[in-house]
């Protein structure tokens, strides 16, 4: 009896693993930011590789300044729960995906009845993916895994005369982390209609992705500590002007934000045509990896949170 149950279990695992066409199945390691109340499987959510996650996260450092002066094109970030919530976690996963990628979906949490990308009748708190143009009203994504090549998408983004500081910083972040990086950067979108679950008999036809391994889940506050400390150490002279010695870190301070970007990107990166320099990309990447590679705070490590 035990042997038959074991055989059945092996068969189920094999069936799950073969849900994807083996000729097109590839593994991708991704990072996923969301509120802790959501599960680890990125259903109707956006994820990113290392450089893509760095781009998303680094560009958000300027949010306190930007959201004090929001514009129609940027205001949605100011109430995006994946940016502003106090219970954010970052999950590092390995996904097995079908490499016949589709259009990238802008997947967001519905807030006050809108996803800020065209769907103004969504369910509060639910994730929704829009695969239409930026001004489309309601174009659902297909079951294929969506992929955005950030190297291509951000290649021509350079702030011009009259641009605000944070607009130039965002463009400079994209250039440093993705455009100028040898490995580039990617964002992914994974819909519930393409999810290959644990029960092969209930998988939708043409399912395109599954969670192969949950590597680690950490509190974003802990992850930020690793990154911020690395940048502060590198730019200690600048940061020392932002408050009295020993004072708590104030990431909403204009002084702290300017020092952060001056250190990470170079002092001229906030201006049109400014040179992008600052810290080596390898150093920033190490700071991003550290929370997932250790639990030792002295090494930038973070505790592993339960799924």
d(CA 55, CA 264): 12
For 110-134, letters b (16+ CB in 10 Å) and e give bbeebbbbbbeebeeeebbbbbbee
HSE (CB half, 13 Å, CA atoms) of 303? 5
- Token digits for 198? 């644990």
Domain locations in the chain?
Answer: 14-105+141-299
In the 8-state DSSP scheme, what is residue 113? T
- Kindly tell me the burial class for residue 185, based on how many C-beta atoms sit within 10 Å of its own C-beta (0-12, 13-18, 19 or more): buried
Report the number of secondary-structure helices (H) and strands (E) in the chain. 10, 8
pTM: 0.87
Arithmetic mean of pLDDT over the chain: 86
**What is the structure's pLDDT at 76?**
61
Q: Give the pLDDT confidence of 168-199 residue by residue, as tens digits.
A: 999 999 999 999 999 999 999 999 999 998 77
Give the pLDDT score at 118. Answer: 64
Map residue 180 onto helix, strand or coil: coil
Q: Nearest 5°: CA angle at 58, between 55 and 63?
A: 120
pLDDT confidence of 75, banded at 50, 70, 90?
low
| pLDDT value at 4 more than 70 | no
**pLDDT tens, position by position, 98-107:** 999 999 998 8
Q: Which residues contact 198 (CB under 8 A, 6 or more apart)?
A: 12, 16
**Highest mean predicted confidence (pLDDT) among 139-143, 243-247, 279-283:** 279-283
Angle between helical axes of 254-265 and 220-234 (0-180°, round to 10): 70
Q: Are 115 and 94 in contact (CB under 8 A)?
A: no
28 forms beta bridges with 95
**Helix pair 50-59, 165-174: axis angle to 10 deg:** 170
The DSSP letter of residue 251 is: T
pLDDT at 281: 96
What's the token pair of residue 304?
Answer: 């592993």
d(CA 293, CA 247): 29
């Amino acid at each position: 009896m035990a042997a038959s149950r074991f055989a059945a279990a092996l068969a189920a695992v094999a069936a799950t693993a073969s849900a994807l066409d083996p000729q097109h199945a590839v593994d991708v390691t991704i990072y996923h930011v969301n509120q802790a109340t959501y599960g680890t499987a990125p259903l109707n959510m956006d994820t990113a590789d290392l450089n893509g996650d760095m781009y998303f996260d680094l560009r958000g450092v300027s949010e306190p300044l930007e959201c004090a002066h929001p514009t129609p094109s940027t205001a949605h970030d100011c109430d995006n729960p994946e940016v502003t919530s106090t219970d954010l976690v970052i999950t590092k996963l390995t996904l097995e995906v079908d490499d016949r990628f589709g259009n990238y979906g802008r997947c967001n949490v519905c807030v006050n009845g809108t996803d800020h990308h065209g769907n103004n009748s969504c369910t509060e708190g639910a994730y929704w993916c829009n695969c239409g143009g930026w001004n489309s009203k309601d174009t659902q994504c297909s079951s294929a895994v969506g992929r955005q090549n950030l190297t291509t998408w951000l290649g021509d983004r350079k702030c011009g005369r009259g641009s605000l500081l944070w607009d130039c910083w965002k463009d400079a972040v994209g250039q440093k982390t993705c455009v100028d990086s040898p490995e580039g950067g990617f964002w992914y979108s994974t819909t519930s209609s393409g999810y290959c679950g644990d029960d092969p008999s209930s998988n939708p036809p043409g399912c395109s992705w599954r969670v192969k391994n949950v590597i680690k889940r950490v509190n974003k506050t802990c992850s930020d500590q690793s990154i911020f400390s690395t940048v502060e150490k590198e730019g200690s002279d600048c940061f020392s002007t932002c408050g009295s010695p020993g004072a708590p870190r104030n990431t909403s301070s204009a002084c702290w934000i300017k020092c952060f970007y001056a250190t990470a990107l170079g002092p001229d990166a906030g201006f049109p045509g400014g040179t992008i320099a600052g810290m080596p990309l390898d150093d920033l990447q190490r700071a991003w990896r550290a929370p997932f590679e250790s639990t030792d705070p002295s090494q930038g490590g973070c505790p592993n949170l339960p799924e």
